[in-house]
C-alpha cells in the first residue's frame, strides 16, 4: 500500500508515520525561522527528533541503541496502522476519516487508556524527564526551588482560561537561574504540545509569566534570579496576595514545607493569530546569502548613489550629528567544572563625547578570582566561561577560538585584538544610546512618541591575565609570556532576543521594544554621519535601573574602513542596512525618516563633512 504523503516532510524528505498534517516536520519548521549560519540553527539541528511524530526539543530523552521517540504513548508503541494510515489494528479498513477526525480519535483513545491506567492528564512528560536536570541548571549541590507552571490562554474576547491540554509540570530550579531562562524552557514545553496541531510555533514575545490565577508580576521582578524572586514574593507583605487560595493542581505542593512557586505561562493567542495571518516577512537582501563576503561590484556601487542633500525638517529643531568619522577603528585603540585561580588587570573603554573615538585605558586595578576550566557555552567564534571574582560577584568571560569557518585556532594576539574591538563596539553603542535617549527627551514631540525606555548596553570590561595562564585561556607552557585578554560582563540570563543579523536588518516583529531597537539603529546611522551601522543587535532580558528591561550585547558594526572587528563588511554592510531598513512608528514619530534619510554615503560626501566640521569650528 502506498505511503501516506502527509507523513513525508517537504523539507528533509524524512518519513514520520505518526505526524499530523502536511508540509514541514517539527524540526524543519524551527530551522526555517533561523538564519542558516546562526548558532541557534546549529543548536536546533542537533536536537534529537522523534522518528514517529517528528517532534523535536532540546531535552528529549535519548536511549542509545533504540529508535528515537518522544515520550508520548502512541510514539512509544509505534504506528497504530499497518499501511497508509487507514486501517485498524486488525487490518480492517476504517471509514474514510479526515486528518482532524483521525487526530481526535487517537486523542480519545489515548485519554481512555490513561484513565484505565490511572494516569492524570496534564503533561506528556514523565517524572524521569522532569528530573532529567537534577541540578536544576545550576552547580551540583546548589540549593533548588520547585517551580510549577500551567498554561493560561488569552482568548479572542479578552478572557483567560487554563488549558491543561497544553501541558503543566513542576521542576526543580537552581536558585541562581534567571526567570527569563525558565520562561524560555516552559515555552519549549508549550511548543512541544502546540506544534502537534499547529504549523507555526509560539514566540517568546507572545507569552509572559504570571502567578497562579493570572496575577501579574510586580514591576522589576520578571528578570530576577530564582532566589531573589522567592525572597521577594515569600515576604509577608506579598505572600497573602500571591500564594493565598492556590488550589489544583498544586494543593499538595502548597502544604509541603519545601519552597514552591506556582506560576503560569500566559499565552496571548490573539497576538499569535495576528502574526500568522499577517503579510509574509520580507525576503532578505542578496547580501545575506554572501555573508561577510566581498563582491567584485562592492567597490563601485557608491559611485551611482546620489549625494545626500542636507536634511530640512521644516522646524527650528535640528537633529544631532556627531563628529564620528571614518578613521580606522584599530588605530584609535591603545596597544595594549574544575576551576583555576585567575589574576587580571582591568581595562575599560572611554569614548569621546563628540567624535565617538574610543580609547582603552588600564584602570590600575588588579583583581583575583576563579574561572571555570570548561566553557558553559560556545558560539561560532567565542566561548564563555563562568568567573567568580573575590567577594562573590558572578561574571561571564568570553574569548575567541575561531575568527572564520576555516580557522582552526586563534593566536593570543588575534584574540586580544578582537576582544579590544568588541569592547570598543559596546562602548560606541552605549554612546549612541545615550545620544538617542537625549534626542528623544529634547525632541518637541518626543514625549508623545511610543518608546521603550528600558534599554541598556552591557557594562563590559577587559580582563587581562597577569599571573600564570588559566587553563581556560588555552595558553600552553611555551607561551606563558603572552597575556590573554577576556571580554567580561556581569552574569545574566542566557535567553537571547535577536533583532537583526549581520546583513539582515528587516524588522520582523512589531512590538514596542523591537521598534525602539530598530529606531536606535536608524538613529546610529544618521548620528555617525552614515559612517557606521550596528548589526547583529541582540539582547537579554534584565533589570535596567530597577525595572524590567533589555541589555544589548555582542554587537557587530559595519564601517567605512571595514576594520571594526569580525563581521564588518564595510560599505557593503552599510548598504545592506540602507536597502532593508523600513521606518517604523518610533522612527517616524521622532522624524528620523526625514532627518536621517536612508542613503549610503558617496565618496564625495566625505569632503563635504570636512568642510562642515571646519565651519562648525569657525562658528564656535
In this predicted model, what pLDDT tens digit does every residue of 416-439 receive, in sequence order? 999 999 999 999 999 999 999 999
Q: Which whole-number Å values give the CA distances from 77 to 54, 67, 70, 72, 184, in the listed order?
A: 15, 11, 11, 9, 30
Task: Give the integer Cα–Cα distance in Å for 243 and 376.
Answer: 35
154 or 327, which is more confident: 154
Buried b (16+ CB within 10 A) or exposed e, 43-76: ebeebbbbbbbbbbbeebeeeeeeebbbbbebbe
Place of cell 515555552: 187
**Residue 485: which pLDDT band, with cuts at 50, 70 and 90?**
very high
Q: At a CB cut-off of 8 Å and minimum separation 6, what does 248 contact?
A: none
Least confident of 4-13, 117-126, 351-360, 361-370: 117-126
- Confidence grade of residue 479 (pLDDT, cut at 50, 70, 90): low
Give the pLDDT score at 307.
Answer: 35
> Which pLDDT band holds residue 466 (cuts at 50, 70, 90)?
very high
* Distances, alpha carbon 476 to alpha carbons 191, 386, 401, 413, 481, in Å: 45, 21, 14, 14, 10
- Distances in Å between the Cα of 615 and the Cα atoms of 399, 530, 605, 609, 619 are 44, 19, 15, 10, 6
For residues 241-260, give the mean pLDDT.
Answer: 90
Domain positions in the chain: 5-116, 127-274, 326-619
What does the pLDDT read at residue 128? 36
Does the domain spanning 127-274 belong to CATH 3.30.360.10?
no
Q: Please give the Cα distance from 393 to 399 (Å, whole number).
A: 20
Q: What is the pLDDT of residue 534?
A: 98
pLDDT of residue 386: 93
pLDDT of residue 513: 95
Query: Of the candidates 464, 465, 292, 474, which has an alpha carbon nearest to the alpha carbon of residue 378?
Result: 474
Share of the chain above pLDDT 70, in %: 75
pLDDT exceeds 80 at position 501 = yes
Arithmetic mean of pLDDT over the chain:
79
Burial class from Cβ neighbours inside 10 Å (0-12, 13-18, 19+) for residue 373 reads middle
CATH for 326-619, options being 3.30.200.20, 3.40.50.11740, 1.20.1330.10, 3.40.50.300: 3.30.200.20
Pick 322 or 269 by higher pLDDT: 269
Nearest to 346 by CA among 402, 303, 314, 390: 390
Q: 552 by DSSP, 3-state: which?
A: strand
- Name which of 36-40, 91-95, 272-276, 451-455 the model is least confident about: 91-95
Amino acid at each position: 500500500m502506498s505511503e501516506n504523503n502527509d507523513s513525508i516532510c517537504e523539507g528533509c524528505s524524512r518519513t514520520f508515520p505518526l505526524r499530523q498534517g502536511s508540509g514541514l516536520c517539527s524540526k524543519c519548521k524551527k530551522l526555517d525561522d533561523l538564519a542558516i549560519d546562526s548558532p541557534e540553527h546549529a543548536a536546533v539541528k542537533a536536537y534529537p527528533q522523534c522518528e514517529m511524530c517528528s517532534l523535536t526539543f532540546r531535552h528529549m530523552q535519548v536511549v542509545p541503541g533504540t529508535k528515537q521517540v518522544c515520550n508520548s504513548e502512541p510514539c512509544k508503541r509505534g504506528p497504530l496502522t499497518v499501511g497508509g494510515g487507514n486501517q485498524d489494528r486488525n487490518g480492517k479498513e476504517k471509514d474514510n476519516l479526515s486528518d482532524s477526525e483521525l487526530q481526535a480519535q487517537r486523542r480519545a483513545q489515548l485519554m481512555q487508556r490513561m484513565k484505565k491506567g490511572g494516569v492524570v492528564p496534564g503533561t506528556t512528560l514523565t517524572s524521569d524527564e522532569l528530573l532529567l536536570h537534577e541540578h536544576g541548571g545550576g552547580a551540583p549541590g546548589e540549593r533548588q526551588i520547585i517551580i510549577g507552571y500551567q498554561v493560561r490562554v488569552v482568548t479572542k474576547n479578552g478572557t483567560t482560561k487554563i488549558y491543561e491540554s497544553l501541558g503543566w509540570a513542576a521542576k526543580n530550579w537552581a536558585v541562581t537561574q534567571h526567570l527569563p531562562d525558565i520562561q524560555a524552557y516552559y515555552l519549549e514545553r508549550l511548543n512541544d504540545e502546540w506544534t502537534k496541531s499547529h504549523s507555526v510555533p509560539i514566540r517568546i514575545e507572545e507569552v509572559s509569566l504570571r502567578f497562579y490565577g493570572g496575577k501579574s508580576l510586580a514591576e522589576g521582578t520578571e528578570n530576577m534570579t530564582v532566589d531573589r524572586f522567592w525572597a521577594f514574593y515569600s515576604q509577608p507583605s506579598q505572600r497573602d496576595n500571591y500564594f493565598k487560595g492556590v488550589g489544583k493542581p498544586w494543593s499538595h505542593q502548597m502544604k509541603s514545607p519545601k519552597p514552591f512557586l506556582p506560576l503560569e505561562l500566559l499565552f496571548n493567542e490573539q497576538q499569535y493569530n495576528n502574526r500568522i495571518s499577517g503579510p509574509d516577512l520580507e525576503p532578505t537582501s542578496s547580501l545575506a546569502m554572501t555573508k561577510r563576503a566581498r563582491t567584485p561590484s562592492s567597490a563601485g556601487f557608491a559611485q551611482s548613489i546620489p549625494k545626500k542633500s542636507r536634511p530640512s525638517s521644516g522646524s527650528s529643531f535640528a537633529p544631532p550629528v556627531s563628529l564620528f568619522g571614518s578613521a580606522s577603528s584599530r588605530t584609535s585603540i591603545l596597544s595594549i567544572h574544575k576551576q583555576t585561580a585567575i589574576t587580571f588587570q582591568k581595562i575599560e573603554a572611554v569614548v569621546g563625547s563628540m567624535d565617538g573615538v574610543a580609547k582603552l585605558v588600564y584602570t590600575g586595578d588588579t583583581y583575583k578570582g576563579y574561572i571555570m576550566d570548561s566553557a558553559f557555552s560556545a558560539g561560532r567564534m567565542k566561548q564563555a566561561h563562568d568567573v567568580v571574582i573575590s567577594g562573590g560577584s558572578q561574571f561571564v568571560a568570553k574569548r575567541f577560538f575561531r575568527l572564520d569557518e576555516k580557522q582552526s585556532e586563534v593566536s593570543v594576539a588575534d584574540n586580544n585584538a578582537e576582544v579590544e574591538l568588541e569592547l570598543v563596539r559596546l562602548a560606541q553603542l552605549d554612546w549612541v544610546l545615550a545620544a538617542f535617549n537625549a534626542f528623544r527627551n529634547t525632541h518637541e514631540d518626543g514625549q508623545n512618541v511610543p518608546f521603550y525606555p528600558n534599554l541598556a548596553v552591557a557594562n563590559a570590561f577587559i580582563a587581562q591575565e597577569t599571573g600564570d595562564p588559566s587553563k581556560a585561556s588555552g595558553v600552553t607552557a611555551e607561551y606563558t609570556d603572552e597575556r590573554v585578554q577576556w571580554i567580561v560582563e556581569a552574569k545574566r540570563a542566557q535567553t537571547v532576543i535577536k533583532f537583526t543579523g549581520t546583513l539582515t536588518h528587516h524588522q520582523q516583529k512589531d512590538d514596542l521594544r523591537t521598534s525602539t531597537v530598530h529606531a536606535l539603529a536608524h538613529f546610529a546611522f544618521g548620528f555617525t554621519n552614515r559612517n557606521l551601522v550596528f548589526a547583529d543587535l541582540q539582547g537579554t532580558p534584565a533589570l535596567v535601573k530597577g525595572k524590567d528591561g533589555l541589555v544589548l550585547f555582542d554587537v557587530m558594526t559595519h564601517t567605512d574602513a571595514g576594520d571594526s572587528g569580525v563581521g564588518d563588511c564595510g560599505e557593503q554592510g552599510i548598504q545592506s542596512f540602507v536597502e532593508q531598513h523600513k521606518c517604523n512608528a518610533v522612527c517616524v514619530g521622532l522624524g528620523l525618516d526625514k532627518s536621517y534619510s536612508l542613503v549610503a554615503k558617496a565618496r564625495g560626501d566625505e569632503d563635504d563633512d570636512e568642510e562642515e566640521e571646519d565651519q562648525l569650528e569657525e562658528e564656535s
